[in-house]
A and B are shown apart, each in its own frame.
Chain A
Amino acid sequence: MALLANNRAFILFSGLLLVAVIVAISVPVKWVVLWTDALIFALITVILGSGWLVRNKPYLLAPWRRVLKRRLASAALVVLLSYVLIGLLDSVHFREALPPQVGSSEVHYSPHTLSVLDKLLTPIRIQEEKSYSAPFAIHLFSKESTQREDGTTVREYPRLQYGGAHLEDIQQRQTDITHTLLMASSYSLLAWLLLSALIIWIMAQRYSLSYRQQVERLVRGEMELPWRTLLLTLLAVMLFAFVAMMLGVKYHVFGTDKVGQDVLYQTLKSIRTGLVIGTLTTLIMLPFAVVLGVAAGYFRGWIDDTIQYIYTTLNSIPGVLLIAAAVLIMQAYIAGNPELFETMEERADARLFFLCLILGITSWTGLCRLLRGEALKLRELDYVQAAHAFGVPQHKILSSHIFPNVLHIVLITLVLDFSGLVLAEAVLSYVGIGVDPTMHSWGNMINGARLEMAREPMVWWSLMAAFIFMFILVLAANLFADAVRDAFDPRAQH
């Protein structure tokens, strides 16, 4: 039965893969894999692969179950996953084919790299105004001189090109917004009900209950996992998505920035940057930290001395200084070798990747120290001694006795570090040594807002949008990290 189930999953998976490949080939675009894209997909593969490996290991699954059983953590997980979904959509890049030129059969591709998310957000992406406009505004933020039909010049707030352009009468704005809001809410509710119905049907099949019984169990909160909370959070997320999209097409929900770009689009694009920094940095530092930390603790002696020497030295250099120096070198290198990068996006991506790298190199010491201490403790434990007494080879002792028993520390650190790194990006970009200025990121948005805040009246919406999105991500990550730490920390059990 299990084999059959596995086969079914396998067939499903390979089928999906096949469809994806066919779609990818048939669409007339040139697919672009940026460095960070490649790493993100590698990371996803690793996560799915380890999920596949631990599916039959109860002791590895049990702590995750404990995490999911906490209502707050599972709600945070839904929020995190929706961020991840946006980030992933934003990580599939391509260049569109330009309309064929007359007399040439060669296909030329656009110099702009787009992502699937860009494509989905097309109306919002291309609806660019002239300059600043407030959220839901119909007019520009500042007065401009315009010529009337009768030839007189007046200074007035010109109508926006897109925001509320469909309105005949500007008095209708309020009713239009309310109407759209209601429509969006009912659509999202409908979609949510369909999705919930599907989920409940699957669960009812699995527990072989009638549909009605399953609904009752769920509503009363009698499920093992807090499905009620999960579904309600999902409703909130879907509500937001529908409202933002349906209003976003008609208005600038978060206003526009200096060059008239929609701020909602910017913050959504910033999600990928934040996630990349938060995850890839830890991914890069992980091998250093795990190998060096465990080696130092387990082998002791001169190996320990050397590794300790390295990380003590590295720790004593101010991190910001090291990052600034490295980023500046990278900047100079990119500027000196323009032929290496075909598009602007590739250049910005290279800098992002490099930022992750240097953040990783400066931040592995903390985890390394923790792992060294743990390995020092483990090597003296009786079961390791017993393995020695059996003549078990060193590499086997490391892989089956030491490594599995430090895994929880790695995981806890990983999740705890995530939100710190997202915030670090904002700070570094603010200082001017973060990601490329052309790249959408919360740090850049906040940096730009520095000047906007000084205007009179104040332009507050860029900062607020960046703040809200970053705040929700970091809060969800922290709540989730807390639950992970509680579930995996052996001292907190029993």
Chain B
Amino acid sequence: MNDVLLQVNDLKTWFEGSSGTARAVDGVSFEIRRGETFALLGESGCGKSMTALSLMRLVPEPAGRIVAGSVLLDGVDLLTLPEHQMRNIRGGRVGMIFQEPMTSLNPVMRVGRQIQESVECHLGLRNRAAKARVLELLDAVGIPDPQQRYDEYPHQLSGGMKQRVMIAIALAGEPELLIADEPTTALDVTIQAQVLELMAELQKQTGMAMLLITHDLGVVAEVADRVAVMYAGQIVEQASREQFFSDPQHPYSKKLFASMPDIEKRGEKLAVIRGSVPPLTTEFSGCRFEARCDYSWELCQNSVPQWHQQASGHGIRCHLMDEVHHGRGITHHEEPEADTPQTTEIPDQPILKVDGLKVHFPIHKGLFKRVVGHVHAVDGIDIDLKPGQTLALVGESGCGKTTVGKGILQLIRPTAGDVNFENIDLTQLSNKQLRPMRGDIQIIFQDPFSSLNPRMRVADIIEEGMIAQGKGGSASQCQQRIDELLQQVGLSPEHKQRYPHEFSGGQRQRVCIARALAVEPKLIICDEPTSALDVSVQAQILNLLKKLQQELGLAYLFITHDISVVEYLAHQVAVMYLGRIVEQGEVEEVLNQPRHPYTQALLSAVPSIRESKREKQRLSGELPSPINPPQGCHFNPRCPKVMANCKENYPDSTLLTESHFVRCFLYD
């Protein structure tokens, strides 16, 4: 039997747009063997998803079309099959999972029916037999109590559950190949770990091959057998996982590794990849990575690099692999920027002191809108933050970290507790009294696309806060200040007449930072500022934030779910679970010796590119609803070390060292 299941040869998918032909997939070749996991890795806009859609012939027509190439599934070219045969392939021999579990399920159909549809279609089972198969599938994807779940609607399931249902639908046709397009990107790390483990297990049982599309190096390191790196519509490097992670060859791959934030890079600048991915409408006359590459020389501009296949199976598309050029050095050096170590003494007095902050949202029901309960979004939080320091607030989505930020800013008025900023209790001030204080605390949001008004020019956006706060002086001084700010965040003053849609995600985030800086804040609340960005751009923003902190002595409250960012940037870490902080301390203490079982599980769930020292620990279940938090310790239903006491009382904080405390009965 042939070992190769899927063979893709020189696949090209082009899109006709108003700005020319976009070559989303431009000559991609790879093969997937039976039972192996093949990862397609790349930044957004590189054509990864389009490659997957092309394999299934699901490219949105007539805008896009497959121009050339062949896709051989067991020797049969899928691109030449008639549509009715293709329908049997889709969902039958090739299954697919999409990124967004929320929108992939039909909200008005029962979950069981949706899976059954696929079972009936591809296995020809009917009624009882089909239902029995659905229940088996639900069981196989680890959904507890399948009998009951069969009759539920998608909105009754959590995100992780929905993704499991999606997997069940994909498995219904007993596929030989499963295409998973960013299957865990929308999920939290602990859930991501569960889903990845499930997929690996299913693969072992059924022997199917998997094409995993992802931007996350960590995920690749966890599950992939072989890796292909895509850049601007082409595969630039392809290797086995071991080869790739031990010896990446292409300059782009090397840079990707270097730009990953990491505890070992603390205190240094992260490597950045200049610029961003070129638009796919460009006519490339040379190497596509040339403009951003540290090694590029004039040959790279003028001649398209060829694919070099090494005997070990490692393949690279780069001129550096040409015999004559082997071993050329770096031609572009980054500005060696002296990393000024912090010399300023950190004052002992905290700039921000939060005591017992609670934010509860009332739930109204019925004709007269009676309050029937509360969402305990934030339920008693204490934070101390000193000037020039970064406190990272870590937790899964839904644990209330963003609400903490808004509560401190008084965008949402807290239900109880004090927010002392420079010894003034903000919760006691009226909106009017707050107004002059607004400039001192600023916020940077997660989504750079919704945080800038599309109808305002950059200059107006930055100026808005300065006018509201009465800072910046006369009109000409104001304009001068805007120029300075733009330069400070790495944009040029010419950008100020432009509108936000003309910028990339990373540039927008810079504009957001400039906007916040315009009012000379002392504290910036960063609400996941890099989670919507690609790794290479994330590095640019993290470097910028770090530089600004050193120059201006800013304090950051850094809200994130990304542990690697925390490791790199934060001084202190607070781990949140369901509205409360369960563990807090210096970053080394918490990340190296996590004490709380939740912190331990969270850390071990993070996919890592290095061989993990941490022991694998998988959490079952998901974050409970903050409307009815579990009795006793909130974590007790998921805790592997649960004791009788945990179900009765909420543990008090136990001081482990001067700066490190944990709220768990294990250390009482």
A-side residues, CB < 8 A to B, are 58-59, 381-383, 385-393, 396, 400-401, 404-405
Contact = CB atoms under 8 A, between A and B. Distances in A.
Contacts of B465: 386, 390, 392
A393 B434 CA distance: 12
Contacts of B469: 390-391
B152 to A, nearest CB: 28
B447 interface: yes
Interface stretch (B201-209, B232-240, B453-461): B453-461
Interface in B436-457: 436, 438-439, 441-443, 445-447, 450-456
A396 B447 CA distance: 23
A404 B455 CA distance: 7
B597 to A, nearest CB: 34
A385 B411 contact: yes
Contact of B435 (A58, A381, A391): A391
Which 7 A-B pairs have CB atoms at the shortest separation, nearest pair first? A391-B438, A382-B451, A390-B465, A391-B435, A382-B445, A404-B455, A392-B468
A468 B519 CA distance: 62
Nearest to A408: B455
A392 B439 CA distance: 11
Contacts, number: 63
B499 interface: yes
How many interface residues does chain B have, given as a range? 20 to 34
B432 to A, nearest CB: 9
Point out which of B455, B501, B515 has the most chain A C-beta atoms below 10 A from its C-beta: B455
Contact of A390 (B451, B452, B464, B499): B464
B468 A405 contact: no
A389 B438 contact: yes
9 contacts: A59-B454, A381-B451, A383-B452, A386-B445, A389-B438, A390-B438, A392-B465, A400-B453, A405-B453
Residue in B406, B442, B443 whose Cβ sees the most chain A Cβ within 10 Å: B443
A386 B441 CA distance: 11
A390 B460 CA distance: 14
Interface string B519-549: 1000000000000000000000000000000
Nearest to B434: A391
A390 B406 CA distance: 13
A59 B451 contact: no
Contact of A400 (B439, B441, B452, B456): B456
Contacts of B438: 389-391
A393 B431 CA distance: 10
A382 B515 CA distance: 13
Q: Most chain-B CB neighbours within 10 Å: which of A381, A387, A391, A404?
A: A391
Given A382-B447, A386-B445, A389-B442, 15 more contacts: A58-B499, A385-B406, A385-B445, A386-B451, A389-B443, A390-B465, A391-B439, A391-B468, A392-B464, A392-B465, A400-B453, A404-B453, A404-B455, A405-B454, A405-B455
B160 to A, nearest CB: 25
Contacts of B411: 385, 388-389
Nearest to B446: A382
A8 B464 CA distance: 34
Contact of A385 (B443, B454, B499): B443
B500 to A, nearest CB: 9
A69 to B, nearest CB: 10
B229 interface: no
Contact of A59 (B443, B447, B455): B455
Contacts of A389: 409, 411, 438, 441-443
Interface SS of chain A: helix
Contacts of A390: 438-439, 464-465, 468-469, 519
Nearest to A305: B369
Contacts of B434: 391
A359 B446 CA distance: 45
B499 A59 contact: yes
A58 B454 CA distance: 12
Nearest to B441: A389
A266 to B, nearest CB: 46
Nearest to A394: B431
B485 to A, nearest CB: 14
Nearest to A66: B18
Contacts of A385: 406, 411, 443, 445
B447 A386 contact: no
B9 to A, nearest CB: 31
B443 A383 contact: no
Contacts of A401: 453
A404 B469 CA distance: 23
B443 A386 contact: yes
B445 A393 contact: no
A407 B668 CA distance: 60
Given A388-B411, A390-B464, A391-B438, A383 B499 contact: no
Nearest to A401: B453
Contact of B515 (A58, A386, A396): A386
Contacts of B501: 59
Contacts of A400: 453, 456, 464
Contacts of B499: 58-59
Counting chain B CB atoms within 10 Å of each CB, the highest count among A390, A393, A401 belongs to A390
Interface in B48-103: none
Contacts of A387: 464, 468
A381 B436 CA distance: 23
Contact of B468 (A59, A381, A383, A393): A393
A488 to B, nearest CB: 13
Contacts of B455: 59, 404-405
B478 to A, nearest CB: 14
B450 A383 contact: yes
Contact of A383 (B436, B446, B451): B451
Contacts of A381: 450-451
A327 to B, nearest CB: 37
A387 B436 CA distance: 14
A401 B434 CA distance: 21
A392 B464 CA distance: 8
Contacts of A386: 443, 445, 451, 465, 512, 515
Nearest to A396: B468
A404 B457 CA distance: 13
Given A389-B411, A392-B468, A393-B468, A382 B439 contact: no
Contacts of B519: 390
A387 B454 CA distance: 14
B514 to A, nearest CB: 12
A212 B441 CA distance: 64
Contacts of B447: 382
Contacts of A393: 468
A411 B519 CA distance: 36
Contacts of B441: 389
A388 B465 CA distance: 10
B335 to A, nearest CB: 31
A404 B443 CA distance: 23
Q: Kindly name the residue among A58, A389, A400, A405 whose own CB sees the greatest number of chain B CB atoms within 10 A.
A: A389
A400 B450 CA distance: 15
Interface string B357-373: 00000000000000000
Nearest to A60: B455
Most buried by B among A59, A387, A393, A405: A59
Contacts of B436: 391
Nearest to A69: B18
Contacts of B512: 386
Nearest to A58: B499
A392 B519 CA distance: 12
A396 B519 CA distance: 18
A59 B456 CA distance: 9
Contacts of B446: 382
B303 to A, nearest CB: 33
Nearest to B431: A391
B541 to A, nearest CB: 16
B666 to A, nearest CB: 39
Which of B434, B439, B446, B453 is the most central at the interface, judged by chain A CB atoms within 10 Å of its CB? B453
